[in-house]
C-alpha cells in the first residue's frame, strides 16, 4: 500500500504510510518518529471551518490516540488558505438552543481531552486561525506559526463571544488584559504580535517546521509561565475594577442595546474568571443565549451578505496589467491595492509630486495590511509611476480616477481613445456622473463601465460595478472578478442617479442640513443617528466626505430627481465657496483641528420625528432603486449599504430593518412626514413589492 504525501506550502512534505486514512475531514498518520499527525482538510470547501462533522471526527481520532499514545500529536491544516476560519455558522440557525448546547458541551470535552493528552500536543498554523480554529490551537501545549499566520476571535462581529474555551484558555496564556482586548474588539494578532504576546511559541519558515516539532517533542522548548498580572485577576475585586473600565470603553464604541455580546463576555469574566470550571459552563450558557438574540441573527445575516458579494467576485478576470489615470486620493489607493494583490500597475499623472505621494501612500497601506518586507518590496516593484501614460497601450484595464468633473473625464477619454489596446476594458471611478453620458466619449461602449470605489479604498471593501446601457455582461463579469481579485466586494448595479449607495446616502446628509436650518443642532442630529446605529452622524459624515464633494453629488441628484431630494441649504454652499470643506481643510460644519469631533448630545428636546427624518429617506431610496432594477435584489442592496457606509449592521441592512419594523408602518410614517415636510417623503411605489 503506497503512502499519501501532503506537501505544505511547497516546503514540508509529510509522507503518511500504510496506516494513513483519508477519512472524512481529517487526514491522519504516524511518521517514523512516532508522531501522530492530524491534518484538517475539509472536504466540502476550499477553506477549513470547524463544523459538527469536524468535531465528531476529531473526537474519534483523539480516542484512538488515547488508546495508542503517540510520541506527540501535531494538528495542522492541508489548505493553502490557512488553518481554520472559525466555526461553520451556516448550521447555527438549524440546530436550535438545545442542539447548540449539546454540540458545544461535546466539543469542549474533545478539546479538554487534547489538552490532557499524556504527550506533547502541537498546533502548526499558517494563514489565519480564527474563532473555533484559534480555540483548537489553544487546546494544544505548543503553537508554531509560519510567517503570515494570524490569530483572532471575530465572534463579536457575529454578536457572539468565543464558545469553545477561548474565554478561559486565552487569558490563562497571555493574561486577561490582552486576552479580553482581543475578544472584545475582534482584532487580529498577526505573526509578530502573536509571538510578542505569547500566543505562539515560535515563528519559523515552513521548511523548519519538522525541526521545530522535533524540538518540542524532545522538551527543548521553555514551558509557559503564567504572567504576574494574571494572578492578580484571580481575585474578584480586581476583576470588578477592570470590568467597569472595560464596560466604559466598550460603551463608547458598541452600545449595549445594540451589541450585547461584549457585555456578556465582560460579565462572564467578572463573575467566573477566577474558576475555570465555572467559566467553562457559563461560557456555553452565555454563548447559546447570544446565539438566539436578534442582534446575532442579523449579524450572521451580514456575514452571509458578505459571502454573496464575495462570490460575485469569483472567476478569472483575465487582467494582469492595470493603468490608473490620476494619482489623487482615490487613484493612488486603487493603484496600491491592485499592486498589493499581484497586478502590474502603471499610475499616470502629469503631477510628479502626486506620483511621489502615491508611492508613499502605497508603503503606508502595505504597513497597515501587515505585509512583510518582501511582500511590500514586491508590491512596490509592481507599481510604476507613469507620468507620460505609456502604460495605457499595454493595459488590460484602464481606470480613470480623475476629479468628479464631467469635462475633465471627457477630455481624458478623448485623449486615450487611440491608445487603448484591442479588447482593453475602460472604467470610470465616478460617484454620481452617469455612465451612459460619459460613454458618448468612449470608443468601445460595450467594454466601458463604472467602478465606484469608496474612500478610503484601502479600508472600504465595497465597489459598485456600474453597467451602462451598452455595457456587456462579459465586461461586467470581468470587472466584478477584478474587484474580487484585489480583495473587494463587487455589487453590479445599473446606471442611475447616485447608483445605489449615494442615492440612499446623500438624502441622509442633506436632510440633516435642512434640520439645522430649522434650528436643530448638529450635535443633536448626529447623536440621534449614532444612537440608531449609524457609524457616524450625517453632519460628521458630510465633513468626512468633503463638503465640496457632497455638494456636487447632491446637485447632480437634485437635477435628476427633483423634489425627491431635500433642498440644498445656503450654509453648505457658502462653506464650499469659503473653502471650509470639512476634515480635509480642518473646518467644515465641525472644527477638526483637534481630531474627530465627539458628539453625545441630550435628545430630550429633540423633534419626535428626528430619527425617522434621517433614516426613512434612505429606506425610501432603497425601495426606489429596487423598483427601478438598479440593485439586483434586497440582499445585494443591504450588503452594499452595510459594507460601503457601515449602515447599522446589527439591524441587518435597511430593507431587513424595514421588514422587521413592518412595511405598513414604514409607509405610514413616510406619509406623516410627507404631510408635514413635503413631497420628498412620499412613499415610493416600490414598497408594495416588499410588503
Contacts of 607 (CB under 8 A, 6+ apart): 515, 520, 613
Question: Is 320 marked active-site?
Answer: no
Helix (H, G, I), strand (E, B) or coil at 636: helix
- Helix, strand and coil in the chain, % to nearest 5: 55, 15, 30
Exposed/middle/buried for residue 53 (C-beta within 10 Å: 0-12, 13-18, 19+): middle
Helix (H, G, I), strand (E, B) or coil at 405: coil
Beta strands in 42-194 (DSSP E): 72-77, 82-85, 120-125, 128-130, 142-145, 150-152, 188-190
Q: CA–CA separation, 283 vs 288, rounded Å? A: 9
From the list 57, 400, 404, 464, the catalytic residue is 464
| Contact by Cβ (8 Å): 154, 86 | yes
**DSSP label of 27:** E
| Contact by Cβ (8 Å): 464, 494 | no
Question: Is 225 marked active-site?
Answer: no
Bridge partners for 471 per DSSP: none
| Contact by Cβ (8 Å): 464, 450 | yes
From the list 48, 51, 434, 502, the catalytic residue is 502
Question: Is 431 marked active-site?
Answer: yes
Q: Which helix (H) or strand (E) holds 513?
A: helix 501-517
| Contact by Cβ (8 Å): 599, 537 | yes
Radius of gyration of the chain (CA): 27
From the list 452, 552, 556, 620, the catalytic residue is 452
Q: CA–CA separation, 65 vs 63, rounded Å? A: 5
From the list 296, 431, 556, 656, the catalytic residue is 431
Question: Is 464 marked active-site?
Answer: yes
- Helix (H), strand (E), coil (C) string for 243-259: HHHHHHHHHHHCCCCCC
- Give the dihedral sign, CA 66/72/75/79: negative
Bridge partners for 428 per DSSP: 400, 450
- Between helices 294-312 and 473-485, what is the axis angle to 10°? 120
Q: What angle do CA 395, 398, 403 make, to 5 degrees?
A: 150
Give the active site residues: 431, 452, 464, 502
Amino acid at each position: 500500500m503506497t503512502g499519501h504525501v501532503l506537501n505544505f506550502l511547497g516546503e514540508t512534505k509529510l509522507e503518511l504510510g500504510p496506516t494513513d486514512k483519508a477519512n472524512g475531514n481529517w487526514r491522519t498518520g504516524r511518521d517514523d518518529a512516532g508522531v501522530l499527525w492530524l491534518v484538517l482538510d475539509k472536504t466540502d470547501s476550499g477553506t477549513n471551518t470547524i463544523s459538527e462533522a469536524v468535531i465528531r471526527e476529531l473526537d474519534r481520532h483523539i480516542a484512538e490516540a488515547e488508546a495508542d499514545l503517540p510520541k506527540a500529536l501535531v494538528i495542522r491544516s492541508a489548505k493553502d488558505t490557512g488553518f481554520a476560519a472559525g466555526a461553520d455558522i451556516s448550521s447555527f440557525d438549524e440546530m436550535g438552543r438545545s442542539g447548540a448546547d449539546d454540540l458545544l458541551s461535546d466539543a469542549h470535552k474533545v478539546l479538554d481531552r487534547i489538552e490532557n493528552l499524556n504527550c506533547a500536543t502541537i498546533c502548526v498554523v499558517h494563514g489565519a486561525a480564527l474563532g473555533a480554529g484559534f480555540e483548537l490551537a489553544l487546546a494544544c501545549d505548543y503553537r508554531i506559526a509560519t510567517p503570515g499566520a494570524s490569530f483572532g476571535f471575530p465572534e463579536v462581529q457575529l454578536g457572539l463571544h468565543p464558545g469553545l474555551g477561548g474565554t478561559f484558555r486565552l487569558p490563562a496564556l497571555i493574561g486577561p488584559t490582552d486576552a479580553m482586548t482581543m475578544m472584545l474588539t475582534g482584532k487580529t494578532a498577526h505573526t509578530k504580535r502573536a509571538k510578542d504576546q505569547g500566543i505562539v511559541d515560535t515563528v519559523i519558515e515552513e521548511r523548519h517546521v519538522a525541526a521545530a516539532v522535533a524540538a518540542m517533542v524532545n522538551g527543548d522548548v521553555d514551558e509557559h509561565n503564567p504572567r504576574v498580572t494574571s494572578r492578580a485577576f484571580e481575585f474578584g475585586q480586581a476583576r470588578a475594577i477592570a470590568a467597569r473600565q472595560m464596560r466604559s470603553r466598550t460603551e463608547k464604541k458598541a452600545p449595549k442595546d445594540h451589541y450585547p455580546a461584549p457585555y456578556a463576555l465582560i460579565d462572564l469574566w467578572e463573575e467566573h474568571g477566577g474558576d475555570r470550571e465555572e467559566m467553562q459552563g457559563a461560557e456555553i450558557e452565555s454563548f447559546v443565549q447570544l446565539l438566539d438574540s436578534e442582534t446575532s441573527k442579523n449579524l450572521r445575516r451580514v456575514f452571509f451578505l458578505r459571502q454573496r458579494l464575495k462570490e460575485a467576485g469569483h472567476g478569472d478576470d483575465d487582467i494582469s496589467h492595470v493603468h490608473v489615470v490620476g494619482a489623487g486620493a482615490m487613484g493612488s489607493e486603487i493603484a496600491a491595492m491592485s499592486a498589493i494583490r499581484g497586478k502590474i500597475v502603471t499610475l499616470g499623472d502629469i503631477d510628479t509630486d502626486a506620483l511621489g505621494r502615491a508611492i508613499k501612500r502605497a508603503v503606508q497601506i502595505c504597513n497597515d495590511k501587515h505585509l512583510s518586507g518582501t511582500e511590500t518590496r514586491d508590491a512596490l516593484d509592481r507599481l510604476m509611476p507613469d507620468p507620460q501614460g505609456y502604460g495605457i497601450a499595454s493595459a488590460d484595464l484602464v481606470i480613470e480616477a480623475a476629479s468628479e468633473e464631467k469635462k475633465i473625464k471627457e477630455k481624458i477619454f478623448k485623449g486615450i481613445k487611440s491608445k487603448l489596446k484591442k479588447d482593453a476594458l475602460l472604467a470610470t471611478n465616478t460617484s454620481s456622473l452617469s455612465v451612459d453620458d460619459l460613454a458618448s466619449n468612449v470608443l468601445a461602449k460595450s467594454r466601458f463601465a463604472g467602478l465606484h470605489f469608496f474612500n478610503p479604498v484601502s479600508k472600504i471593501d465595497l465597489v459598485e460595478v456600474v453597467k451602462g446601457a451598452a455595457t456587456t455582461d462579459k465586461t461586467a463579469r470581468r470587472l466584478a472578478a477584478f474587484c474580487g481579485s484585489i480583495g473587494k466586494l463587487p455589487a453590479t448595479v445599473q446606471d442611475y442617479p447616485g447608483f445605489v449607495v449615494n442615492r440612499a446616502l446623500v438624502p441622509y446628509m442633506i436632510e440633516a442640513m435642512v434640520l439645522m436650518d430649522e434650528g436643530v443642532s448638529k450635535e443633536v442630529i448626529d447623536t440621534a443617528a449614532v444612537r440608531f446605529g449609524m457609524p457616524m452622524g450625517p453632519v460628521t459624515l458630510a465633513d468626512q466626505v468633503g463638503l465640496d464633494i457632497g455638494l456636487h453629488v447632491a446637485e447632480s441628484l437634485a437635477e435628476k430627481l427633483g423634489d425627491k431630494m431635500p433642498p440644498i441649504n445656503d450654509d453648505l454652499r457658502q462653506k464650499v465657496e469659503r473653502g471650509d470643506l470639512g476634515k480635509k481643510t480642518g473646518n467644515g460644519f465641525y472644527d477638526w483641528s483637534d481630531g474627530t469631533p465627539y458628539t453625545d448630545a441630550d435628545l430630550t428636546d429633540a423633534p419626535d420625528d428626528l430619527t425617522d427624518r434621517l433614516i426613512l429617506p434612505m429606506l425610501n431610496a432603497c425601495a426606489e432603486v429596487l423598483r427601478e432594477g438598479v440593485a439586483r435584489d434586497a440582499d445585494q442592496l443591504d450588503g452594499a449599504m452595510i459594507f460601503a457606509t457601515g449602515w447599522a449592521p446589527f439591524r441587518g441592512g435597511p430593507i431587513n430593518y424595514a421588514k422587521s419594523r413592518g412595511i405598513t408602518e414604514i409607509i405610514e410614517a413616510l406619509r406623516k412626514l410627507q404631510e408635514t415636510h413635503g413631497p420628498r417623503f412620499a412613499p415610493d411605489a416600490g414598497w408594495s413589492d416588499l410588503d
